[in-house]
Amino acid sequence: MQILITGAAGDVGKVLVESLADEHEIVATDADPDAPEGTRELDIRDLDALTEAFQGIDAVIHLAGAASPESDWDSVLELNIAGTRNVLEAARQAGVRRVVYASSNHAIGGYDIDEEWPVTPDMPVRPDSLYGVSKVFGEALGRFYREAHGLEFVPLRIGWSSGDWGAADSEVLRAMWLSEADTARVFRAALEADSPDGGPYYATSDNGGRHRWDMTSTIEELGYQPQDSWEAAAGQE
């Protein structure tokens, strides 16, 4: 497959560019002109540029946007809301078959604050931040594009993707850790799964606390099999 990645210079993007390249042709894009060599400059604020870049692409992995849960409204509005709409609209116009969307546990972080677990994919959204609200928006827009335009939209509610398990300074981060290798596995599953329904799909490693978020559909529909765990990484197993 020809796969275009937005936000390819970010932490998740770098992992995916490297790990997916053995099986797929990857077009790495980022708005940052100082992104790693081989990255094409592409700004999700520019619908026309997106539509042009998406010609001939089979699937888009949409990672670009304001990535911090503390993002302010202006950046959330411009990048996560308007930018994500541009990505989906360009995908529709260019005939892209599938968009894998980096959603987030912050779309339902309110349950975590109140420790109301387990959280299943069909529970009402409960964002814990403006960032989380923007992820709810992206999921809803994707569902509309899926139903109205036939776009295969696959939203992953990513936990805490990080190569640095040691930085998990709270129980919730240890529970939602997603190793770099498992990050690659779950995105690969989302890209390659045969006709997945619309999700959303939780994505963590096989950590001790991971059952707070019900990954049944990620495992059964997408075929994701986490191989890592925070406890194993920390030598606590």
Residue of 133, 175, 186, 222 that binds a second copy (CB under 8 A):
133
> Which one, 40 or 149, has the nearer CB to a second copy?
149
> Is 201 annotated as catalytic?
no
The C-alpha atoms of residue 76 and residue 55 are separated, in whole angstroms, by 27
> Which one, 86 or 162, has the nearer CB to a second copy?
86
62 binds a second copy (CB under 8 A): no
> Which one, 68 or 73, has the nearer CB to a second copy?
73
> Which one, 148 or 194, has the nearer CB to a second copy?
148
The C-alpha atoms of residue 216 and residue 143 are separated, in whole angstroms, by 20
Residue 145 structure tokens: 């594009």
The C-alpha atoms of residue 26 and residue 32 are separated, in whole angstroms, by 18
Residue of 30, 112, 128, 180 that binds a second copy (CB under 8 A):
128
Phi, psi of 215 (to 5 degrees): -90, 10
The C-alpha atoms of residue 193 and residue 222 are separated, in whole angstroms, by 5
Site string for a second copy, 151-170 (x = CB under 8 A): --------------------
- What separation in angstroms does the CA of 9 have from each of 4, 72, 177, 208? 13, 21, 21, 30
Phi, psi of 159 (to 5 degrees): -70, -120
Spot the catalytic one: 101, 131, 145, 224: 131
Q: Specify burial of residue 12 (Cβ count, 10 A radius: 0-12, 13-18, 19+).
A: buried
Least distance (Å) from a second copy to the CB of residue 60? 19
> Which one, 10 or 127, has the nearer CB to a second copy?
127
126 binds a second copy (CB under 8 A): yes
Q: In what order do the strands lie in the sheet with 201-203?
A: 40-41, 25-30, 2-6, 59-62, 98-104, 152-158, 201-203
Residue of 49, 69, 85, 92 that binds a second copy (CB under 8 A):
85
Phi, psi of 60 (to 5 degrees): -110, 135
Widest Cα–Cα separation across the chain: 51
Count of residues binding a second copy (CB under 8 A)?
28
Residue of 18, 147, 164, 197 that binds a second copy (CB under 8 A):
147
The C-alpha atoms of residue 212 and residue 224 are separated, in whole angstroms, by 17
Q: Which stretch binds a second copy (CB under 8 A): 25-33, 48-56, 63-71, 80-88?
A: 80-88
Residue of 21, 82, 167, 234 that binds a second copy (CB under 8 A):
82
- For a second copy, the binding residues (CB under 8 A) are 73, 77, 81-82, 85, 89, 110, 113, 121-130, 132-133, 136-137, 140-141, 143-144, 147-148
Give the active site residues.
131
